[in-house]
Structure 1
């Protein structure tokens, strides 16, 4: 069995050596696709970058956690629309079209899908890197 594995790995190495241009092109395309998908879901911003946007009055917070979590502690002036309801309540954000929407969730797990939805509706969207957990880790304030 180990001779098959060794032979297979030798063949793979030989293929990579012979077809390095093809393999390099594939790797570049994968990287470009990953980068485009990340940006399409809303460019990630740090807490400092997000705070700068808010302080310049050019952004709003959209907290997509469930209401119970939001009520336990959220960023001041954040709008709460749970991630499962954003699609049906997106019109509530129309009055903020002139601002960047910074999507906040617990850890970043739902911000990408909401970012893609809002980006598809022509909103300028960013995602808070690390979500509300990173905000708290930075020692930044929450209100109840």
Structure 2
């Protein structure tokens, strides 16, 4: 029969994963890595922390077995250790949304007013097949290159105002980004609507589509 020490050791292993998840900044890093591999300096810029602090958070995630690394010359790239880590991140968000009232308040405060219209994934796929809608990816370039919907046009949201002429006049546009808790598509729809486009946003994003096994293309625009 197993003794208390061996049981405690097993549960300590589970706790190590929970401890690594107990940091908002580390969860933000997982959210970014769910889009695709990124270098330390890219992650530091995206999360608005110093490189040394970012590296420390990444090491904590690596020690917990949640991320993996590869080296290219002097640069180190991080990625999720497996699809199950992305599933863990998605499920953690669902649990928080379902059981913590403050999560919905925080979501609304971050994403802004409920002034954009969403379409579900089934409708988005129908539009992809029909070709009668411009599907617009508004994430940063490295994320688009790591994986995007087939046929998606790529214009990062911060470049959208200067590149409106690249979008076909009169077309309906559906913007998408990282997932349900990403503000980029909301901002893109607001901007496009203010310039007269008929536009909606995808309710889901790359994280949800990857987990659903939908086709994802890889490569830069």
**TM-score scaled by length of structure 2:** 0.44
How many correspondences in the alignment? 104
Instruction: State the Cα deviation string for residues 65-95 of structure 1 (Å, max 9, x = none).
Output: 11111011111111111111111111111x2
How far apart in 2 are the matches of 1:75 and 1:66?
14
How far apart in 2 are the matches of 1:81 and 1:90?
9
Point out the more displaced range, 80-89 or 131-140.
131-140
1:44 aligns with 2:118: yes
Instruction: State the Cα deviation string for residues 69-126 of structure 1 (Å, max 9, x = none).
Output: 1011111111111111111111111x2x332211011123211111011011111111
Q: 2:175 aligns with which of 90, 95, 103?
A: 103
Q: 1:80 aligns with which of 154, 168, 178?
A: 154
Q: Which residue of 1 aligns with 2:133?
A: 59
Task: Give the root-mean-square deviation of aligned CA atoms.
Answer: 1.4
Q: Secondary structure at the match of 1:60?
A: strand
Structure 1: 5+ residue runs without aligned partners? 1-36
Q: Which residue of 2 aligns with 1:143?
A: 217
- Structure with higher helix content: 1
How far apart in 2 are the matches of 1:127 and 1:109?
11
**TM-score scaled by length of structure 1:** 0.66
CA shift for structure 1 position 52: 1.3
Q: 1:118 aligns with which of 192, 196, 218?
A: 192
Which 4+ stretches in 1 moved above 3 angstroms? none
Instruction: State the Cα deviation string for residues 113-142 of structure 1 (Å, max 9, x = none).
Output: 110110111111111112221222221010
CA shift for structure 1 position 45: 0.8
Which has the greater radius of gyration?
1
Point out the more displaced range, 126-135 or 114-123.
126-135
